[in-house]
């Protein structure tokens, strides 16, 4: 039976967020995020549109991925930047020690920095980035965490920087498509992982563009994307040094 998708189900909790989650299944989940992101998150577009154009001058491009999980997005960006001969420092940040442990053990020569911390720690320390990203994190946050992550994202931006938070947009089509596409591979590619169950729970917890617009402070822009995506964006208008 389809759940009621007319309102955000903020009371449900994803299985991967359980501190007692099965370690082997959690590891497989981190390992499968790359597959999901390749299909739904359009990492190539994020790279071409938002990252590569910010590489100007001799200074390394500083990129922060908040809630990096398995950090596949960081590794993919590192590979593209290397291919384009752009020097960069990429930080994969996650609040969950288990994610950081898994991701740093699977860096595969990407040279990403892995940190278990909350954004406030970095912002209070005065750290600055040219691009602050997240993917599939907004729907995990409660109201106060959302406010904190957004305020910190702005504080973390260097002049001319971009904060860009990507997530699923809740809809019946998103739920139905994810359920249909993952069902045939649930016992093969996605076996022993939380991907299918957590993906469906995520959609129930995620925002529609109108809800997100109403939930964020003024100045943030919400864009719709395909397939069933949304992006929350802030561009720092100060001139780059």
Binding residues for ligand SAM (CB under 6 A): 33, 37, 66-69, 73, 93-96, 99, 118, 135-137, 140-141, 145, 149
Question: Do residues 61 and 54 lie in contact, with contact meaning Cβ atoms separated by under 8 Å?
Answer: yes
Question: Do residues 141 and 9 lie in contact, with contact meaning Cβ atoms separated by under 8 Å?
Answer: no
**Main-chain phi, psi angles of 218, to 5 degrees:** -60, 150
Tell me the closest approach of the beta carbon of residue 158 to ligand SAM, in angstroms: 20
**Residue number, 99 or 110, with CB nearest to ligand SAM:** 99
Question: Do residues 115 and 93 lie in contact, with contact meaning Cβ atoms separated by under 8 Å?
Answer: yes
Q: Nearest residue to ligand SAM, using CB?
A: 69
Tell me the closest approach of the beta carbon of residue 11 to ligand SAM, in angstroms: 17
Tell me the closest approach of the beta carbon of residue 34 to ligand SAM, in angstroms: 8
**Residue number, 5 or 64, with CB nearest to ligand SAM:** 64
Tell me the closest approach of the beta carbon of residue 43 to ligand SAM, in angstroms: 9
Tell me the closest approach of the beta carbon of residue 196 to ligand SAM, in angstroms: 13
**Residue number, 67 or 161, with CB nearest to ligand SAM:** 67
Q: Tokens in use for 136?
A: 């599939």
**Residue number, 127 or 160, with CB nearest to ligand SAM:** 127
**Residue number, 206 or 208, with CB nearest to ligand SAM:** 206
Tell me the closest approach of the beta carbon of residue 240 to ligand SAM, in angstroms: 27
Tell me the closest approach of the beta carbon of residue 116 to ligand SAM, in angstroms: 9
Which residues on neighbouring strands pair with residue 135, listed in sequence order?
Answer: 166
**Residue number, 94 or 130, with CB nearest to ligand SAM:** 94
**Residue number, 149 or 156, with CB nearest to ligand SAM:** 149
Give me the half-sphere count of Cα atoms (radius 13 Å) on the Cβ side of residue 90. 29
Residue carrying the six token digits 């020097």: 87
């Amino acid at each position: 039976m389809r759940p009621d998708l007319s309102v955000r189900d903020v009371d449900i909790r994803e299985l991967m967020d359980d501190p007692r989650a099965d370690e082997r299944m959690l590891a497989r989940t981190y390992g499968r995020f790359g597959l999901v992101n390749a299909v739904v998150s359009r990492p190539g577009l994020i790279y071409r549109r938002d990252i590569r154009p910010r590489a100007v001058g001799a200074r390394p491009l500083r990129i922060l991925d908040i809630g990096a999980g398995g950090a596949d997005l960081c590794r993919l960006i590192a590979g593209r930047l290397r291919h384009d001969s752009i020097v960069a420092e990429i930080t994969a940040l996650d609040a969950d020690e288990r994610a950081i442990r898994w991701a740093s053990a699977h860096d595969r020569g990407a040279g990403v920095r892995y940190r278990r911390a909350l954004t406030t720690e970095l912002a209070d320390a005065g750290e600055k980035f040219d691009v602050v990203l997240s993917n599939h994190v907004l729907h995990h946050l409660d109201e106060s965490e959302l406010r904190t992550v957004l305020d910190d994202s702005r504080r973390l931006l260097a002049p001319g920087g971009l904060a860009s938070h990507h997530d699923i947009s809740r809809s019946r089509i998103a739920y139905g498509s994810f359920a249909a596409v993952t069902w045939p591979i649930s016992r093969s590619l996605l076996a022993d992982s939380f991907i299918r169950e957590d993906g469906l729970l995520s959609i129930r917890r995620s925002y529609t563009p109108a809800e997100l617009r109403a939930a964020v402070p003024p100045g943030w822009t919400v864009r719709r994307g395909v397939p069933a995506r949304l992006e929350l964006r802030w561009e720092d208008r100060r001139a780059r040094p």
